[in-house]
Structure 1
Amino acid sequence: MPAAWTAFHEQYYSAYLAYAELQLGDRGEAGELVHRVFVHLAAHWQRLMREEAPMASAWALLKSGVARHLEERGRQPAMPETAVFRNVSRRVLEDVRGEFAAMESALGLYTAIARLPERQFDVIVLRYVLGYPTGDVARLMGVSDATVRTHCTLARRKLGRDLQMDTGGDGDDDDARR
Structure 2
Amino acid sequence: MRPRGATWDADTAVEQLYAAHWRQLVRLSMLLVRDVGTAEEVVQDSFVALHSRWSRLRDPEKALAYLRQIVVNRSRSALRHRSVVAKHAPLPEVTSSADEAALAHGQRDVVLEALRQLPERQREVVALRYYLDLSEADIAATLGISRGAVKSHSSRGLAALRLSLGSLMEDPS
Q: TM-score range by the shorter chain?
A: 0.5 to 0.7
Out of 98, 105, 115, the residue aligned to residue 119 of structure 2 is: 115
SS at match of 1:133: coil
Q: Identify the range of structure 1 (38-47 vs 6-15) with the bigger mean alpha-carbon deviation.
A: 6-15
Out of 104, 108, 129, the residue aligned to residue 87 of structure 1 is: 108
Identical positions, percent: 19
Matched residue count = 133
Out of 110, 124, 127, the residue aligned to residue 125 of structure 1 is: 127
TM-score of the aligned structures, taking structure 1 as reference length: 0.52
* 1:2 paired to 2:7: no
Contact in 2 for aligned 1:55/1:139 (Cα 8 Å): no
Cross-structure match for 1:167: none
Contact in 1 for aligned 2:126/2:157 (Cα 8 Å): no
- Give me the whole-angstrom Cα distance separating, in 2, the residues matched to 1:136 and 1:158: 14
Contact in 1 for aligned 2:139/2:150 (Cα 8 Å): no
Which has more helix, going by share of residues? 2
Contact in 2 for aligned 1:127/1:137 (Cα 8 Å): no
- Give me the whole-angstrom Cα distance separating, in 2, the residues matched to 1:53 and 1:136: 16
Spell out, residue by residue over 1:49-68, the C-alpha distance to the aligned partner (whole angstroms, 9 max, x if none). 44895444322321221122
Query: What are the within-5 Å matches in structure 2 for residues 47-126 of structure 1?
Result: 47-50=56-59, 54-73=63-82, 74=84, 87=108, 109-110=114-115, 114-115=118-119, 118=121, 120-126=122-128
Spell out, residue by residue over 1:9-39, the C-alpha distance to the aligned partner (whole angstroms, 9 max, x if none). 2222112111212222221121122111111
- Give me the whole-angstrom Cα distance separating, in 2, the residues matched to 1:56 and 1:69: 20
Gap runs ≥5 in structure 2: 1-9, 87-103, 164-173
TM-score of the aligned structures, taking structure 2 as reference length: 0.54
1:41 is displaced (CA, Å) by: 0.9
* 1:156 paired to 2:155: yes
Q: For 2:155, give the aligned amino acid.
A: R
- CA-based RMSD: 4.2
Q: Using a 3 Å threshold, how does the CA distance of structure 1 residues 21 and 50 change in structure 2: closer, same or farther?
A: same
- Give me the whole-angstrom Cα distance separating, in 2, the residues matched to 1:161 and 1:28: 28
- Give me the whole-angstrom Cα distance separating, in 2, the residues matched to 1:154 and 1:71: 21
